[in-house]
Chains A and B, each alone.
Chain A
């Protein structure tokens, strides 16, 4: 299959841009998976009690004895004098690092309040690097709600790391995006079977494994929300391999094909490596497409995964997307996806939740993908829903997860059918 598809699908579809109340998380939420991915990292939010409460509510973090993230909660006296706030931050960081000698990377994460009071965390990071290098590397990025939506927090985090990555002339492949370990291992196994290498990952599981980057680096994104990271890598001389994202059998094949083409992998080898997992993925997806085929689906904006997932549901599961909402639409990263997405749905960017709920009620979809704040209220009104956050918290990339991805969407419909039987029996 070639990537030189003529512009089609939704490439030229108009985009409904909305501005109003947004029912989405802020970028701080990414800390929940990033801190599990980076095993020697601590994420210190400089913010308010709201930030702390958001993190624990979104994550249910009581499961951790002492999680590797926390909030330095600003108090009234910090608001009065920024000099004192900096001194307090230094003290809290020193105390934290003394208690957690296992920490090698510390992320100072900006929040809405820290940005409004203009607490300069980049200078704080510089200062703290002076105090704690080389044992600990201190970064800073913003996960604030006034700047970032949900998965943009990961983008901001990775983009903050790129300028400090060591330089290299080596011709390496850099795979970008935090993946569950099991998925990362599958991805590396596929690339290794194709003979592509050396392969580096960003983020790496530990600070010592951080990749180097340079003019011979070619990189590919695994997540559609990494626009700033891509810009930062371009600035370091990296070349982006463009492809659809590796969701479903088709997405994974096109993604791998793009890498294979860039690294000159013979087609025969590509076919032999991918044939078996492709067949498995198709079979696994088929088990669910019977439930999904012909059903309509509506995406509220959440993670920026919406367009790739709508493409997967439309092309591999036979669903009919009615509206595909995304918090942001990065045309440059999304052009391959938009070309594949069959024409028809409303493509919307941003959100005015009340108006979107009106449109949703008018369209009355068979399945609604939405955030946790909307799911039960919509279920109570008779709509089958899929929590969008599960799509980010579940291994869904590459061949072996294609069936699991389809199952996430078919389960609410199957469950509904089971319960309806129970009521009428």
Chain B
């Protein structure tokens, strides 16, 4: 039993719904009690879908449990076939139905329906949403895709895009366009947009492009074995990764990886002098492993940020995530507990968070700007405009999206120069953002947290003052004097000086100074200590 206040991933049958809802001509009969239909609104509201997800819920009640839930399942499956006439059906159980062990697969097979029926076995009490999506797609491909003659022209399948995926709709379009530049045609993109009939002709492609390892790797590996189709390992998010991806495709197909890059703007936008202020900005990354690992590469090598923390919530990808983090000299944070993520962010005191909607909220609480790079999604992650993450246009979108939350170049300098300015103070926030900038409460001795409140739109929680956060034990090698640790005391003038430091680096400055002072056995921190520490930690 584990207490969970909020979870990054839903149960595995929601993953199966992401596959079913993304597809056409497929129907999902889910043995589930009333209430599980809440999952419909994820698709109709968050993604603004104009159709109900193709899911029939058996809706058993307590009174059915002593009676015959199996018959209920069979009649629901039969009625669903008659009403929706799908090309294929997937059948399975939600968490409660798993406990009553009715065997939906066996029951549906016994109905002898005139379409393929694919049973799903998704363990609700040990696995989660992305596993459910991957396993469901894998099961459908295993049931329907067969080896067949290759197309005359060079074609590939795009694997892994689902309903409710982070920018999947536009990534599929962008990668299709990118591959066309090389002369590769997309045979089938699945699950998103594909029908069971499309799945059945996947075998005619020359190779597969694995867009999202989280939701497509099972199918990719199966197709490699069963249909002899190699699959790409590079996920084309970012300029470097997109070029690597083109080379990987060139290696498979023998085509030239050189394509028209005239639409690519990120490199110049990053090189132009306005972007100098981005140098070494401390970023913390958290989300699904694929997006975080790709984002780390972009952050470190294409925008010039410093990656100060990274991690993922999907434990299945812990190993590649740990390896990727190691390359930046970091220990990866693998957790699905957002409170742990919040603590890690507070401890790292980054200037920018790249995360999920949850990290956006954490950023709001801590007063740190955030851009969203990964699922879980909400309605804002389905923009009306074209905004992929993959390919060259994806790189352009990423540059804009990540830079927007930051305070801009010269404005940041002015904030640093006139930290105590009563209207243009750092807590007033970036001038291009919403929210009412309020004049600083005079006298200037106003508590830090209060002064910061003015930067937030009405109704938002004030940022927590993270300067007082406990540091992780390992990072605080305080000297032990006679068995007691004396925390250095801040002298009033030093404390006032600390308050002049922009809020987004204040926490870091405070902790660095305290570590520095403690390391030298100082009892008090003066202005001199503050600046000595600054020089000590200068990079």
Chain A: residues with CB nearer than 8 A to chain B? 20-29, 44, 46, 48-50, 52-54, 56-58, 60-63, 65-67, 69-76, 78-79, 85, 88-89, 91-92, 95-96, 112-113, 115-117, 144-147, 149, 354, 371-377, 379-380
Contact = CB atoms under 8 A, between A and B. Distances in A.
Interface string B374-396: 00001000000000000000000
A375 B125 contact: no
B1 A146 contact: no
Contact of B11 (A26, A46, A48, A371): A48
15 contacts: A48-B96, A49-B7, A49-B95, A52-B7, A53-B10, A56-B7, A57-B42, A71-B5, A79-B125, A96-B3, A116-B65, A372-B45, A373-B37, A376-B48, A376-B50
B57 interface: yes
Q: Which of B48, B50, B358 has the most CB of A within 10 A?
A: B50
Interface string B46-63: 001111100011111110
B211 interface: no
B361 interface: yes
Nearest to B48: A376
A206 to B, nearest CB: 22
Contact of B3 (A71, A115, A145): A71
A377 B37 CA distance: 15
Given A50-B11, A147-B61, 5 more contacts: A48-B11, A49-B128, A58-B41, A62-B357, A376-B50
B49 A376 contact: yes
Contact of A53 (B2, B11, B65): B11
Contacts, number: 188
Contacts of B14: 50, 53
B175 to A, nearest CB: 28
Given A21-B56, A144-B33, A62 B45 contact: no
A92 B44 contact: no
A56 B76 CA distance: 28
B5 A67 contact: yes
A19 B124 CA distance: 27
Contacts of A27: 35
B365 interface: yes
Contact of A374 (B35, B44, B58): B44
A20 B38 CA distance: 16
Given A53-B11, A145-B33, A48 B2 contact: no
7 smallest CB-CB distances across A and B, nearest first, come from: A26-B35, A145-B35, A373-B40, A380-B50, A88-B1, A112-B96, A372-B41
Contact of A57 (B38, B52, B64, B125): B38
B3 A70 contact: yes
Interface string B315-350: 000000000000000000000000100000000000
B100 interface: yes
A21 B1 contact: no
Nearest to A91: B1
Contacts of A29: 35, 38
B126 interface: yes
Given A21-B37, A54-B35, A79 B99 contact: yes
A24 B52 contact: no
Residue of B9, B38, B51, B100 with most partner-chain A CB within 10 A:
B38
Contact of B83 (A24, A50, A75, A354): A354
A86 B45 CA distance: 38
Interface of B: 1-7, 9-11, 13-14, 33-42, 44-45, 48-52, 56-62, 64-65, 76, 79, 83, 94-96, 99-100, 123-126, 128, 339, 357-358, 361, 365, 378, 461
Contacts of A146: 33-34, 60-62, 64-65, 96
Contacts of B41: 57-58, 371-373
Contact of A73 (B2, B48, B56): B2
Nearest to A50: B11
Given A145-B35, A146-B65, A65 B461 contact: yes
Contacts of B83: 354
Contact of B96 (A28, A75, A116): A116
A62 B11 contact: no
A349 B100 CA distance: 27
A92 B34 contact: no
Contacts of B95: 48-50, 112-113
A376 B44 contact: yes
B125 A75 contact: yes
B1 A50 contact: no
Contacts of A73: 1-4
Nearest to A142: B62
Nearest to A69: B5
B303 to A, nearest CB: 27
Contact of B4 (A70, A117, A147): A70
Contacts of A50: 10-11, 13-14, 36, 94-96, 124
B82 to A, nearest CB: 10
A75 B34 contact: no
Given A56-B7, A88-B1, A146-B65, A49 B124 contact: yes
Contacts of B56: 21
A17 B50 CA distance: 29
Contacts of A96: 3
A69 B6 CA distance: 9
Contacts of B50: 376-377, 379-380
Contacts of B6: 52, 56, 61-62, 67
Contacts of A92: 1-3
Contact of A21 (B4, B5, B57): B57
A50 B514 CA distance: 45
A30 to B, nearest CB: 12
B357 to A, nearest CB: 6
B86 to A, nearest CB: 14
Nearest to B64: A146
B3 A25 contact: no
B34, B57, B60, B61: residue with the most chain A Cβ atoms closer than 10 Å: B34
A58 to B, nearest CB: 6
Contacts of A65: 365, 461
B61 to A, nearest CB: 5
Nearest to B56: A21
A58 B3 CA distance: 19
Contacts of A70: 3-5
A75 B2 contact: yes
Contacts of A49: 4, 7, 9-11, 95, 124, 128
Contacts of A144: 33, 35, 62
Contact of A74 (B1, B9, B38, B378): B1
A240 to B, nearest CB: 27
Interface centre among A54, A115, A380 (most CB of B within 10 A): A54
Contacts of A371: 41
B93 to A, nearest CB: 11
Nearest to B95: A48
A27 B358 CA distance: 25
Q: Which of B44, B60, B79 is the most central at the interface, judged by chain A CB atoms within 10 Å of its CB?
A: B44
Contacts of B36: 26, 50, 54, 145
Contacts of A53: 7, 10-11, 14, 38-39
A87 to B, nearest CB: 9
A28 B35 contact: yes
A379 B51 CA distance: 10
Point out which of A21, A26, A49, A379 has the most chain B C-beta atoms below 10 A from its C-beta.
Answer: A49
Given A21-B58, A50-B10, A75 B126 contact: yes
Contacts of A25: 35, 37-38
A18 to B, nearest CB: 11
B2 A376 contact: no
B40 A23 contact: yes
Given A49-B124, A63-B361, A79-B125, A376 B45 contact: yes
Nearest to A65: B365
A420 B6 CA distance: 41
Given A49-B95, A144-B33, A377-B51, A72 B1 contact: yes
